[in-house]
Structure 1
Protein backbone atom coordinates (compact mmCIF):
# COMPACT_ATOMS: atom_id res chain seq x y z
CA UNK A 1 0.00 0.00 0.00
CA UNK A 2 1.18 3.51 -0.82
CA UNK A 3 0.54 6.70 1.13
CA UNK A 4 -1.75 9.10 -0.71
CA UNK A 5 -0.27 12.48 0.24
CA UNK A 6 -2.55 14.19 -2.29
CA UNK A 7 -5.59 13.72 -0.05
CA UNK A 8 -4.47 16.67 2.07
CA UNK A 9 -4.19 20.15 0.51
CA UNK A 10 -0.82 20.68 2.22
CA UNK A 11 0.47 17.22 1.35
CA UNK A 12 0.70 16.18 5.00
CA UNK A 13 -0.59 12.98 6.58
CA UNK A 14 -0.88 12.19 10.31
CA UNK A 15 1.62 9.76 11.80
CA UNK A 16 1.01 7.86 15.03
CA UNK A 17 4.18 6.64 16.75
CA UNK A 18 3.91 3.64 19.03
CA UNK A 19 6.49 2.01 21.32
CA UNK A 20 7.25 -1.34 19.68
CA UNK A 21 7.87 -3.01 23.03
CA UNK A 22 4.98 -1.72 25.15
CA UNK A 23 2.61 -0.71 22.30
CA UNK A 24 2.06 2.61 24.08
CA UNK A 25 1.21 5.56 21.83
CA UNK A 26 4.11 7.99 22.14
CA UNK A 27 3.17 10.91 19.93
CA UNK A 28 1.37 12.21 16.87
CA UNK A 29 3.14 14.10 14.08
CA UNK A 30 2.84 14.81 10.37
CA UNK A 31 4.83 13.78 7.33
CA UNK A 32 5.02 14.86 3.73
CA UNK A 33 6.55 12.70 1.03
CA UNK A 34 10.06 13.98 1.75
CA UNK A 35 9.80 13.32 5.48
CA UNK A 36 8.43 9.84 4.85
CA UNK A 37 11.21 8.99 2.37
CA UNK A 38 13.86 10.22 4.82
CA UNK A 39 12.30 8.18 7.62
CA UNK A 40 12.32 5.01 5.54
CA UNK A 41 15.85 5.60 4.26
CA UNK A 42 17.40 6.31 7.68
CA UNK A 43 15.12 4.23 9.94
CA UNK A 44 14.75 7.23 12.23
CA UNK A 45 11.45 9.09 12.49
CA UNK A 46 11.46 12.44 10.70
CA UNK A 47 8.38 14.66 10.62
CA UNK A 48 7.44 17.78 8.74
CA UNK A 49 7.15 20.48 11.40
CA UNK A 50 4.19 22.74 10.74
CA UNK A 51 5.57 25.35 13.17
CA UNK A 52 9.12 25.31 11.77
CA UNK A 53 8.01 24.75 8.15
CA UNK A 54 10.79 22.23 7.60
CA UNK A 55 11.73 18.61 8.10
CA UNK A 56 12.30 17.80 11.73
CA UNK A 57 13.96 14.62 12.97
CA UNK A 58 12.63 13.70 16.39
CA UNK A 59 15.61 13.83 18.74
CA UNK A 60 17.76 16.15 16.64
CA UNK A 61 18.36 18.34 19.72
CA UNK A 62 17.61 15.94 22.61
CA UNK A 63 19.14 12.78 21.07
CA UNK A 64 15.94 10.97 22.04
CA UNK A 65 15.52 9.49 18.58
CA UNK A 66 12.67 7.22 17.53
CA UNK A 67 14.15 4.27 15.65
CA UNK A 68 11.78 2.68 13.15
CA UNK A 69 10.92 -0.97 13.75
CA UNK A 70 8.02 -1.20 11.30
CA UNK A 71 5.60 1.02 9.39
CA UNK A 72 1.93 0.41 8.71
CA UNK A 73 -0.53 2.24 6.47
CA UNK A 74 -4.22 2.43 7.25
CA UNK A 75 -6.98 1.16 4.95
CA UNK A 76 -7.61 4.64 3.48
CA UNK A 77 -3.93 5.15 2.62
CA UNK A 78 -3.82 8.47 4.44
CA UNK A 79 -2.51 7.70 7.94
CA UNK A 80 0.73 6.06 9.05
CA UNK A 81 1.45 3.99 12.15
CA UNK A 82 5.11 3.63 13.08
CA UNK A 83 6.26 1.16 15.69
CA UNK A 84 9.51 2.45 17.10
CA UNK A 85 12.25 1.93 19.61
CA UNK A 86 12.66 5.18 21.55
CA UNK A 87 16.08 6.21 22.83
CA UNK A 88 14.55 8.00 25.80
CA UNK A 89 11.52 10.08 26.78
CA UNK A 90 9.49 11.06 23.73
CA UNK A 91 7.80 14.21 25.01
CA UNK A 92 9.71 17.52 25.20
CA UNK A 93 8.54 17.72 28.83
CA UNK A 94 10.63 14.65 29.64
CA UNK A 95 7.58 12.40 29.89
CA UNK A 96 7.56 8.92 28.43
CA UNK A 97 4.71 9.83 26.07
CA UNK A 98 3.16 13.04 24.80
CA UNK A 99 -0.18 11.65 25.96
CA UNK A 100 -0.63 11.89 29.71
CA UNK A 101 -1.65 8.61 31.28
CA UNK A 102 -1.75 7.68 34.93
CA UNK A 103 0.64 4.75 34.44
CA UNK A 104 2.22 2.66 31.73
CA UNK A 105 -0.63 0.31 30.88
CA UNK A 106 1.77 -2.14 29.30
CA UNK A 107 4.51 -2.14 31.93
CA UNK A 108 4.66 -5.94 31.85
CA UNK A 109 6.00 -5.66 28.30
CA UNK A 110 8.47 -3.04 29.48
CA UNK A 111 9.52 -5.32 32.32
CA UNK A 112 10.19 -8.07 29.81
CA UNK A 113 12.54 -5.67 28.03
CA UNK A 114 14.30 -4.80 31.30
CA UNK A 115 14.86 -8.50 32.02
CA UNK A 116 16.25 -9.03 28.52
CA UNK A 117 18.62 -6.10 29.07
CA UNK A 118 19.85 -7.66 32.32
CA UNK A 119 20.70 -10.80 30.36
CA UNK A 120 22.59 -8.83 27.72
CA UNK A 121 24.14 -6.28 30.09
CA UNK A 122 24.50 -7.84 33.56
CA UNK A 123 24.29 -5.42 36.49
CA UNK A 124 26.06 -6.19 39.74
CA UNK A 125 23.53 -6.93 42.46
CA UNK A 126 20.66 -7.41 39.99
CA UNK A 127 18.13 -9.98 41.18
CA UNK A 128 17.64 -11.15 37.60
CA UNK A 129 21.34 -11.86 37.24
CA UNK A 130 21.44 -13.65 40.60
CA UNK A 131 18.61 -15.89 39.44
CA UNK A 132 20.26 -16.52 36.10
CA UNK A 133 23.51 -17.53 37.78
CA UNK A 134 21.62 -20.16 39.78
CA UNK A 135 20.44 -21.82 36.57
CA UNK A 136 17.24 -23.04 34.97
CA UNK A 137 16.25 -25.43 37.78
CA UNK A 138 16.21 -22.62 40.37
CA UNK A 139 14.32 -20.27 38.06
CA UNK A 140 11.68 -22.92 37.36
CA UNK A 141 11.47 -23.72 41.07
CA UNK A 142 10.76 -20.06 41.85
CA UNK A 143 7.89 -20.03 39.36
CA UNK A 144 6.42 -23.07 41.09
CA UNK A 145 6.81 -21.50 44.54
CA UNK A 146 5.22 -18.23 43.45
CA UNK A 147 2.38 -20.14 41.79
CA UNK A 148 1.58 -21.95 45.04
CA UNK A 149 1.82 -18.71 47.04
CA UNK A 150 -0.55 -17.03 44.59
CA UNK A 151 -3.12 -19.79 45.07
CA UNK A 152 -2.81 -19.55 48.86
CA UNK A 153 -3.22 -15.77 48.75
CA UNK A 154 -6.32 -16.09 46.55
CA UNK A 155 -7.95 -18.57 48.92
CA UNK A 156 -6.95 -17.34 52.35
CA UNK A 157 -5.26 -13.95 52.33
CA UNK A 158 -5.99 -10.31 51.51
CA UNK A 159 -6.38 -8.69 48.11
CA UNK A 160 -3.05 -6.91 48.63
CA UNK A 161 -1.37 -10.25 49.32
CA UNK A 162 -2.87 -11.69 46.13
CA UNK A 163 -1.68 -8.72 44.08
CA UNK A 164 1.83 -9.03 45.48
CA UNK A 165 2.03 -12.80 44.97
CA UNK A 166 0.59 -12.58 41.45
CA UNK A 167 3.16 -9.88 40.64
CA UNK A 168 5.96 -12.15 41.87
CA UNK A 169 4.58 -15.00 39.77
CA UNK A 170 4.43 -12.93 36.58
CA UNK A 171 7.94 -11.57 37.15
CA UNK A 172 9.49 -15.00 37.66
CA UNK A 173 7.58 -16.41 34.70
CA UNK A 174 9.08 -13.66 32.52
CA UNK A 175 12.55 -14.63 33.71
CA UNK A 176 11.85 -18.29 32.96
CA UNK A 177 10.64 -17.47 29.45
CA UNK A 178 13.77 -15.41 28.82
CA UNK A 179 15.96 -18.21 30.13
CA UNK A 180 14.32 -20.55 27.62
CA UNK A 181 14.65 -18.06 24.75
CA UNK A 182 10.92 -17.30 24.62
CA UNK A 183 8.93 -14.10 25.11
CA UNK A 184 5.43 -12.73 25.59
CA UNK A 185 4.99 -12.32 21.86
CA UNK A 186 5.31 -16.08 21.47
CA UNK A 187 2.73 -16.67 24.20
CA UNK A 188 0.35 -14.02 22.79
CA UNK A 189 0.48 -15.59 19.33
CA UNK A 190 -0.22 -19.01 20.78
CA UNK A 191 -3.18 -17.68 22.79
CA UNK A 192 -4.50 -15.91 19.71
CA UNK A 193 -4.24 -19.13 17.72
CA UNK A 194 -6.14 -20.99 20.43
CA UNK A 195 -8.82 -18.30 20.51
CA UNK A 196 -9.35 -18.27 16.76
CA UNK A 197 -12.26 -20.46 15.66
CA UNK A 198 -11.22 -23.76 14.14
CA UNK A 199 -11.93 -24.23 10.44
CA UNK A 200 -15.08 -26.25 9.78
CA UNK A 201 -14.62 -29.99 9.49
CA UNK A 202 -15.09 -31.19 5.89
Structure 2
Protein backbone atom coordinates (compact mmCIF):
# COMPACT_ATOMS: atom_id res chain seq x y z
CA UNK A 1 0.00 0.00 0.00
CA UNK A 2 1.44 3.36 -1.05
CA UNK A 3 -0.36 6.27 0.55
CA UNK A 4 0.50 9.79 -0.59
CA UNK A 5 0.96 11.48 2.81
CA UNK A 6 2.54 14.49 1.08
CA UNK A 7 -0.68 15.40 -0.72
CA UNK A 8 -1.93 17.32 2.33
CA UNK A 9 0.12 20.05 4.01
CA UNK A 10 -0.18 18.48 7.48
CA UNK A 11 0.81 15.01 6.24
CA UNK A 12 -2.48 13.49 7.39
CA UNK A 13 -4.82 11.45 5.26
CA UNK A 14 -8.50 10.75 6.02
CA UNK A 15 -9.20 7.24 7.33
CA UNK A 16 -12.80 6.06 7.03
CA UNK A 17 -13.61 3.24 9.45
CA UNK A 18 -16.28 0.72 8.49
CA UNK A 19 -17.58 -2.24 10.51
CA UNK A 20 -16.23 -5.39 8.90
CA UNK A 21 -19.47 -7.33 9.48
CA UNK A 22 -22.30 -4.80 9.22
CA UNK A 23 -20.60 -2.46 6.69
CA UNK A 24 -21.81 0.57 8.67
CA UNK A 25 -19.49 3.58 8.56
CA UNK A 26 -18.36 4.03 12.16
CA UNK A 27 -16.15 7.11 12.17
CA UNK A 28 -13.63 9.24 10.33
CA UNK A 29 -10.13 9.88 11.65
CA UNK A 30 -6.79 11.01 10.30
CA UNK A 31 -3.56 9.08 9.97
CA UNK A 32 0.01 10.01 9.38
CA UNK A 33 2.59 7.45 8.29
CA UNK A 34 3.44 6.53 11.89
CA UNK A 35 -0.24 5.94 12.76
CA UNK A 36 -0.57 3.67 9.74
CA UNK A 37 2.47 1.61 10.78
CA UNK A 38 1.27 1.39 14.38
CA UNK A 39 -2.13 0.15 13.17
CA UNK A 40 -0.48 -2.52 11.02
CA UNK A 41 1.85 -3.61 13.84
CA UNK A 42 -0.66 -3.76 16.69
CA UNK A 43 -3.87 -4.67 14.87
CA UNK A 44 -5.60 -1.83 16.74
CA UNK A 45 -6.68 1.18 14.68
CA UNK A 46 -4.52 4.17 15.59
CA UNK A 47 -4.93 7.75 14.40
CA UNK A 48 -3.04 10.98 14.70
CA UNK A 49 -5.00 13.28 17.00
CA UNK A 50 -4.81 16.86 15.79
CA UNK A 51 -6.08 18.18 19.12
CA UNK A 52 -3.71 16.07 21.28
CA UNK A 53 -0.83 16.41 18.78
CA UNK A 54 0.08 12.74 19.16
CA UNK A 55 -0.78 9.22 18.08
CA UNK A 56 -4.08 8.05 19.53
CA UNK A 57 -5.29 4.46 19.54
CA UNK A 58 -9.08 4.34 19.44
CA UNK A 59 -10.17 2.78 22.73
CA UNK A 60 -7.02 3.57 24.70
CA UNK A 61 -9.16 5.18 27.42
CA UNK A 62 -12.57 3.52 26.95
CA UNK A 63 -11.39 0.03 26.04
CA UNK A 64 -13.58 0.21 22.92
CA UNK A 65 -10.80 -0.69 20.52
CA UNK A 66 -11.20 -1.09 16.77
CA UNK A 67 -9.60 -4.40 15.81
CA UNK A 68 -8.17 -4.15 12.30
CA UNK A 69 -9.49 -6.57 9.68
CA UNK A 70 -8.33 -4.91 6.45
CA UNK A 71 -7.10 -1.65 4.93
CA UNK A 72 -7.27 -0.29 1.40
CA UNK A 73 -6.33 2.96 -0.27
CA UNK A 74 -8.62 4.79 -2.68
CA UNK A 75 -7.89 5.36 -6.38
CA UNK A 76 -5.91 8.57 -5.66
CA UNK A 77 -3.93 6.93 -2.83
CA UNK A 78 -4.83 9.75 -0.45
CA UNK A 79 -7.66 8.23 1.62
CA UNK A 80 -7.85 4.99 3.60
CA UNK A 81 -10.77 2.62 4.05
CA UNK A 82 -10.32 0.61 7.23
CA UNK A 83 -12.54 -2.34 8.04
CA UNK A 84 -12.56 -3.27 11.70
CA UNK A 85 -14.36 -5.06 14.52
CA UNK A 86 -15.48 -2.50 17.12
CA UNK A 87 -15.19 -3.66 20.74
CA UNK A 88 -18.00 -1.39 21.92
CA UNK A 89 -19.56 1.96 21.02
CA UNK A 90 -17.32 3.97 18.70
CA UNK A 91 -18.44 7.53 19.40
CA UNK A 92 -17.30 9.40 22.52
CA UNK A 93 -21.02 10.08 23.18
CA UNK A 94 -21.61 6.36 23.67
CA UNK A 95 -23.34 5.92 20.30
CA UNK A 96 -22.50 2.97 18.05
CA UNK A 97 -21.27 5.32 15.32
CA UNK A 98 -20.27 8.99 15.11
CA UNK A 99 -23.52 9.57 13.19
CA UNK A 100 -25.65 8.11 16.01
CA UNK A 101 -26.69 5.14 13.87
CA UNK A 102 -27.26 1.74 15.40
CA UNK A 103 -24.52 -0.58 14.26
CA UNK A 104 -26.43 -3.55 12.98
CA UNK A 105 -26.70 -5.04 9.55
CA UNK A 106 -29.31 -3.71 7.16
CA UNK A 107 -29.71 -7.34 6.14
CA UNK A 108 -32.76 -8.41 8.15
CA UNK A 109 -31.70 -12.06 8.33
CA UNK A 110 -28.39 -11.10 9.95
CA UNK A 111 -30.31 -8.87 12.36
CA UNK A 112 -32.71 -11.73 13.09
CA UNK A 113 -29.76 -14.00 13.89
CA UNK A 114 -28.59 -11.43 16.44
CA UNK A 115 -32.06 -11.44 18.03
CA UNK A 116 -32.03 -15.26 18.12
CA UNK A 117 -28.66 -15.20 19.92
CA UNK A 118 -30.02 -12.74 22.49
CA UNK A 119 -33.27 -14.64 23.02
CA UNK A 120 -31.34 -17.88 23.44
CA UNK A 121 -30.01 -16.44 26.71
CA UNK A 122 -33.43 -15.35 28.03
CA UNK A 123 -35.32 -17.41 30.63
CA UNK A 124 -37.36 -20.13 28.83
CA UNK A 125 -40.63 -18.87 30.29
CA UNK A 126 -40.06 -15.48 28.61
CA UNK A 127 -39.03 -16.57 25.13
CA UNK A 128 -40.20 -19.13 22.57
CA UNK A 129 -36.66 -19.27 21.18
CA UNK A 130 -35.12 -19.90 24.59
CA UNK A 131 -37.74 -22.54 25.36
CA UNK A 132 -36.93 -24.36 22.12
CA UNK A 133 -33.17 -24.21 22.77
CA UNK A 134 -33.76 -25.59 26.27
CA UNK A 135 -35.46 -28.64 24.74
CA UNK A 136 -32.32 -29.46 22.77
CA UNK A 137 -31.13 -30.08 19.25
CA UNK A 138 -33.52 -32.96 18.54
CA UNK A 139 -36.58 -30.79 19.22
CA UNK A 140 -35.23 -27.95 17.08
CA UNK A 141 -34.46 -30.34 14.20
CA UNK A 142 -37.92 -31.91 14.55
CA UNK A 143 -39.48 -28.44 14.34
CA UNK A 144 -37.59 -27.71 11.11
CA UNK A 145 -38.92 -30.98 9.67
CA UNK A 146 -42.50 -30.11 10.70
CA UNK A 147 -42.25 -26.65 9.15
CA UNK A 148 -40.78 -28.09 5.92
CA UNK A 149 -43.70 -30.52 5.60
CA UNK A 150 -46.22 -27.73 6.25
CA UNK A 151 -44.59 -25.59 3.56
CA UNK A 152 -44.69 -28.46 1.05
CA UNK A 153 -48.40 -28.98 1.80
CA UNK A 154 -49.14 -25.27 1.25
CA UNK A 155 -47.08 -25.28 -1.96
CA UNK A 156 -49.61 -27.70 -3.49
CA UNK A 157 -52.43 -25.18 -2.97
CA UNK A 158 -52.93 -21.68 -4.35
CA UNK A 159 -53.10 -19.70 -1.10
CA UNK A 160 -50.14 -17.34 -1.37
CA UNK A 161 -50.53 -15.95 2.15
CA UNK A 162 -50.49 -19.39 3.79
CA UNK A 163 -47.57 -20.54 1.65
CA UNK A 164 -45.46 -17.46 2.49
CA UNK A 165 -46.28 -17.78 6.19
CA UNK A 166 -45.11 -21.40 6.19
CA UNK A 167 -41.98 -20.36 4.25
CA UNK A 168 -41.27 -17.74 6.93
CA UNK A 169 -41.79 -20.32 9.71
CA UNK A 170 -39.39 -22.73 7.99
CA UNK A 171 -36.72 -20.06 7.48
CA UNK A 172 -36.97 -18.92 11.10
CA UNK A 173 -36.62 -22.43 12.50
CA UNK A 174 -33.83 -23.16 10.01
CA UNK A 175 -31.89 -20.20 11.47
CA UNK A 176 -32.48 -21.62 14.96
CA UNK A 177 -31.09 -25.00 13.92
CA UNK A 178 -28.02 -23.51 12.23
CA UNK A 179 -27.36 -21.45 15.40
CA UNK A 180 -27.90 -24.48 17.64
CA UNK A 181 -25.18 -26.28 15.67
CA UNK A 182 -22.79 -23.39 16.36
CA UNK A 183 -22.92 -21.79 12.93
CA UNK A 184 -24.58 -18.83 11.24
CA UNK A 185 -26.13 -17.96 7.92
CA UNK A 186 -22.87 -16.49 6.61
CA UNK A 187 -21.24 -19.92 6.98
CA UNK A 188 -23.91 -21.34 4.67
CA UNK A 189 -23.62 -18.41 2.25
CA UNK A 190 -19.84 -18.94 2.07
CA UNK A 191 -20.40 -22.52 0.91
CA UNK A 192 -22.93 -21.43 -1.71
CA UNK A 193 -20.55 -18.76 -2.98
CA UNK A 194 -17.71 -21.28 -3.28
CA UNK A 195 -19.98 -23.64 -5.22
CA UNK A 196 -21.10 -20.79 -7.48
CA UNK A 197 -17.53 -19.73 -8.26
CA UNK A 198 -16.56 -23.20 -9.55
Same fold (TM over 0.5): yes
The alpha-carbon deviation at position 73 of structure 1 amounts to 0.9
Change (3 A) 1:127 1:78: farther
1:84 aligned residue: 84
CA deviation digits over 1:49-81, x for unaligned, max 9?
22332222212232222122x122135233322
Larger displacement relative to structure 2 (138-147 or 122-131): 122-131
1:98 aligned residue: 98
Please list, as runs of the form range in 1=range in 2, the aligned pairs for 1:112-151 lying within 5 A after superposition: 112=113, 125=124, 130-145=131-146, 148=150
The alpha-carbon deviation at position 175 of structure 1 amounts to 2.7
The alpha-carbon deviation at position 178 of structure 1 amounts to 2.8
Give the Cα–Cα distance (whole angstroms) in 1 for the partners of residues 50 and 171 of structure 2: 44
The alpha-carbon deviation at position 171 of structure 1 amounts to 4.4
Query: How large is the RMSD of aligned CA atoms in angstroms?
Result: 3.8
1:20 aligned residue: 20
Change (3 A) 1:146 1:15: farther
Give the Cα–Cα distance (whole angstroms) in 2 for the partners of residues 47 and 178 of structure 1: 37
Runs of at least 5 residues in structure 1 that lack an aligned partner in the other structure: none
CA deviation digits over 1:149-186, x for unaligned, max 9?
7x97x94769xxx78x83x6554333322333433223
TM-score normalised over the length of structure 1: 0.69
1:7 aligned residue: 7
Change (3 A) 1:138 1:67: same
TM-score normalised over the length of structure 2: 0.70
Instruction: Please give the secondary structure, in 1, of the residue aligned with 2:55.
Output: strand
Larger displacement relative to structure 2 (98-107 or 36-45): 98-107
1:71 aligned residue: 70
1:173 aligned residue: 174
Q: Is the contact between residue 95 and residue 101 of structure 2 (CA under 8 Å) also seen in structure 1? A: no
The number of residue pairs the alignment matches comes to 191
